[in-house]
Amino acid sequence: MAKERKAFSNLMKAIERGEFVYTGELEPHRSIDLSDVKDWATTLKNTGKIVAANVTDNPRSDSAISSLVAAYLIQRDVGLETIYQLRTADRNRLALLSDILGAAALGLKNILALTGDHTKIGTTPAAKPVFDLDGTQLVALIHSLVYEGKDLDGNEIHGPKPEINVGVAGNPNMDPLEAEVLKLERKAEVGADFVQTQVVFDVEIARKYLRAVEHIGIPVLIGIFPPRSYGQASFFDKYVPGVTVPKEFIEAFKKFNEIEDKARRKEKINEYNVEYFVNFIKEVKKEKACAGIHIMAVGYPDVIGPIIEGVEK
Amino acid sequence: MIITREKPIEEILSYIEPYKKILVVGCDGCVQPPRGLREAEKLASMIEMAKKAKGQEVEVAATTVTRQCCIEGLRNQLKVDGYDALVSMACGIGVQVLTMVFPELPTFPAQNTVFIGYEEKREGNMYEACVACGDCMLGYTGGICPVARCAKGLMNGPCGGCVDGKCEVEVEIRDWKGEVVEVVKNDCAWYLIFNRLKQIGRLDLYRMYRPPKNWALATGPRRL
Ligand code: SF4
Ligand code: SF4
């Protein structure tokens, strides 16, 4: 069902070699100073296990520096491959094409094609939302540029074709799951190379999803977010739409919260995260569709290395 | 039907400040809630009272027409001799057609034109359901419009913002003064589409890829 697929990026090449891959997440702010983001990128790179990292594009419709520019600067200065997130919420098909070609000219090899949150929920609610294309149509546009050297109106691009792999977002928490599976079939049909999912805590939900999309033949990276505190854990439980956090997980964090000694509390939380997510990953790794893990926790280096090592042990 | 909301009376008064003989023109066409003779008379007396309270000399009359969006109908039905300004109770089209037919008079809107929609019942809630995109796709979407009813107007939804069948975007329900009375989450249009297509055994229509829409067909001003 999936379309012609070549591996251009380190990420896709590793997946094609059959490696179990890890990606991380970088969130540049509404600022021209990228130093903290680069620091985090360096930490991710130094794990030696993270093959690439997403660079978010106006996440939650909070305005931020251009993700194209940030993705380029991080890749250049840190030497970690980036996955440039591009949302259709803010750009029409002309602007998208300009940015895709721009990304390819700058040597970016991955784009995550997103529709994006509605502008009304972010920092700039009075903005005119664009949504000229949706995420799926953006995949089609990128695929057409990469393989046909044409946009969706048939306008040819001059010179070499861009070499870009295109990822999409998946939502294992979607109810009914059938709607999500058919949607992913649609995205694969028009040329999606890989999927990164929303945060999942419950291994059963991840497993169900992976089995349901296996027939599509598209590599899936399951999204995880080891929380640093009880506050973060319950935030996911209560406020992140659609994300279910298992009861025992929340209960455990509630207990840690009662530990007075900060260092001790931190140690306990780290231990629990490592154990929980090592087991989680070992389970999802057994599924054929699972090509890797997308670690979304930003600025929590203590557990990333140990989780990955724990899985490999 | 075209749904309109009354403008604040202060705004209407500010438009007609310089004029003494005013005709408020209702519309018996599709505009909802009703904006006919009764409503025109009510606005006329409000204007008169407000102006007189300020000690301004004024004469305000009210009338109505079958529909304000027909040039010929307006020419036949409406007499404006002796007036020096018109106030339209109709949608934005009515205001513009009055302007065309009676170029010698200024015409001012008494309404904010809000959307093309339907109502639950008389004087019930009103819902937007079509934005006149020029290329109706209801045949592929189980009779539920994603252009008007999906907050992002997506062709290949639902997006990740659909949770428990509700849309991530909150919507303000406004009263006829434009005040927010409630903030709610609408049903996700694509969730409705999925369920509808499943119900009629046409999930093939849901599964299919829909290419980008031709927005040139919705780019105005359009003519037929
Ligand atoms: S698809 Fe276009 S014409 Fe059809 S109901 Fe929706 S907006 Fe109106
Ligand atoms: S949640 Fe549904 S209605 Fe809302 S923007 Fe997404 S697809 Fe459209």
Q: Is the pLDDT of residue A266 over 90?
A: yes
Q: What separation in angstroms does the CA of A271 have from each of A229, A248, A302, B90? A: 12, 15, 10, 68
B26 touches chain A (CB under 8 A): no
Domain that includes residue B155, residue range = 134-215
**B64 CB contacts (<8 Å, ≥6 apart)?**
B25, B26, B27, B28, B36, B37, B40, B89
Domain membership flag for residue B120: no
Domain membership flag for residue A38: yes
Q: Is the pLDDT of residue A171 over 80?
A: yes
Q: Which residues of chain B carry a pLDDT beneath 50?
A: none
Residue bearing the bigger pLDDT, A239 or B48: B48
Domain membership flag for residue B53: yes
Residues B148 and B65 in one domain: no
Q: Check B152 against A118: CB less than 8 A apart.
A: yes
Instruction: Specify the residue with its C-alpha closest to ligand 1, atom 5.
Output: B130
Residues paired with B87 in a beta bridge: B24, B108
Residues B92 and B179 in one domain: no
**Calpha distance A114→A168 (Å, rounded):** 7
Residues B140 and B169 in one domain: yes
DSSP line for B28-77:
-SS-BS-BSHHHHHHHHHHHHHHHHHTT---EEEEEEES-TT-HHHHHHH
**Calpha distance A215→A217 (Å, rounded):** 5
How many domains are there within chain A?
1
Q: Which residue of A has its CA nearest to B192?
A: A179
Q: Which residue type, as a one-letter code, is found at position B41?
A: E
How many domains are there within chain B?
2
Domain membership flag for residue B124: no
Mean pLDDT estimate for chain A:
96
A89 touches chain B (CB under 8 A): yes
Mutate to test the interface with B, among A128, A139, A175, A183 (most CBs of B within 10 A): A183
Domain membership flag for residue B12: yes
Q: Report the complex ipTM.
A: 0.94
Domain that includes residue A129, residue range = 10-312
Q: Is the pLDDT of residue A96 over 60?
A: yes
Q: Is the pLDDT of residue A1 over 60?
A: no
Domain membership flag for residue B223: no
Position A313 confidence tier, pLDDT thresholds 50, 70, 90: confident
Domain membership flag for residue A1: no
Q: Which atom of ligand 1 approaches the CA of B149 most closely?
A: 6
Residues B59 and B105 in one domain: yes
Q: Check A174 against B203: CB less than 8 A apart.
A: no
Q: Is the pLDDT of residue A57 over 80?
A: yes
Q: Check B159 against A241: CB less than 8 A apart.
A: no
Domain membership flag for residue B125: no
User: Which residue stretches of chain A are H helix?
Assistant: 10-16, 35-46, 67-78, 93-105, 135-143, 177-189, 203-213, 230-239, 247-257, 262-285, 301-312
Domain membership flag for residue B38: yes
Q: Which residue of A has its CA nearest to B172?
A: A120
User: Which pLDDT tens digit goes with each residue over A101-115?
Assistant: 999 999 999 999 999
Residues B17 and B109 in one domain: yes
> How many Cβ atoms are within 10 Å of A179's Cβ, its own excluded?
23
Q: Which residue of A has its CA nearest to B194?
A: A179
B191 touches chain A (CB under 8 A): yes
What is the three-class DSSP state of A254? helix
**Domain stops at, among B114, B148, B171:** B114
| CATH code where residue B30 lies | 3.40.50.2300
The pLDDT value recorded for residue A2 is 58
* Least confident segment among A33-47, A70-84, B121-135: B121-135
**Domain stops at, among B114, B142, B169:** B114
Q: Check B156 against A183: CB less than 8 A apart.
A: yes
Please give the sequence-ordered ranges of beta strands (E in DSSP) within chain B, or none if there are none. 2-6, 21-27, 59-65, 85-88, 107-109, 111-119, 126-130, 166-174, 180-187
Domain membership flag for residue B221: no
Residues B101 and B153 in one domain: no
Q: What is the mean pLDDT of residues A211-230?
A: 97
The pLDDT value recorded for residue B175 is 85
Q: Which has the closest alpha carbon to A306: A273, A284, A282, A280? A: A273
| CATH code where residue A238 lies | 3.20.20.220
Q: Which has the closest alpha carbon to A294: A233, A219, A241, A186? A: A219
CA distance B163 to chain A (A): 6
